[in-house]
Amino acid sequence: MKHAELVKWLKTLLLIVGAIGLVFFLWVFPVFGKEIARMDPARAYLYWPCLIFVWFSGVLLYTAFWFLWQICGEIAKDHSFCEKNAVNLGRISKIALVESVLCTVGTVVLFLLNAVRPIMLLIFVLLILVGFAASLASAVAARLVQKASELKHDQDLTI
């Protein structure tokens, strides 16, 4: 697959995932939250704090998408193994780690308030694990891209 085709495919996929995410963050989560508040009026006060927390997580997610978009732009220029991509992957790793820690803190707070159902707890734990795995994978990828960039730079100097 040529760089242009790969980048077009990656950016299209990123736009589709981003659009689906917007539907969830702007429509599904608020509606779902209102339904939970309606079914459990004793915990209805948690609607806005939880929704703001979810929106903050969305901002972090779309920040990571922006860095992925920049990586796609570098791949389009045939600069797959460059310092900029390593830095952006490192940023994505940090965002995923922050997201996982925030989700952990949010889960603990909801658990202490006795506002977590068992299925929600399972979903939160899975999200936390996925976030930590994404952080680890992007940190490893950042290190590999950094080393490849250094090797490429050394090779360019010897020729």
Average pLDDT, whole number, for the chain?
Answer: 93
- In this prediction, residue 101 carries a pLDDT of 97
Domain boundaries, the chain: 3-158
How sure is the predictor about 159, in pLDDT bands with cuts at 50, 70 and 90?
A: low
**Alpha-carbon gap, residue 127 to 4, rounded angstroms:** 33
Under a CB-based contact definition with an 8 Å cutoff, are residues 103 and 53 in contact? no
Cα–Cα dist 7/9, whole Å: 5
Cβ atoms 75, 3 nearer than 8 A: yes
What value, to the nearest 5°, has the Cα angle with vertex 17 and ends 11 and 18?
85
pLDDT score recorded for residue 136: 97
Sorting pLDDT into bands at 50, 70 and 90, what band is 154? confident
Using pLDDT thresholds of 50, 70 and 90, give the confidence band for residue 1. low
pLDDT tens per residue, range 101-132: 999 999 999 999 988 888 889 999 999 999 99
End-to-end CA distance of the chain: 28
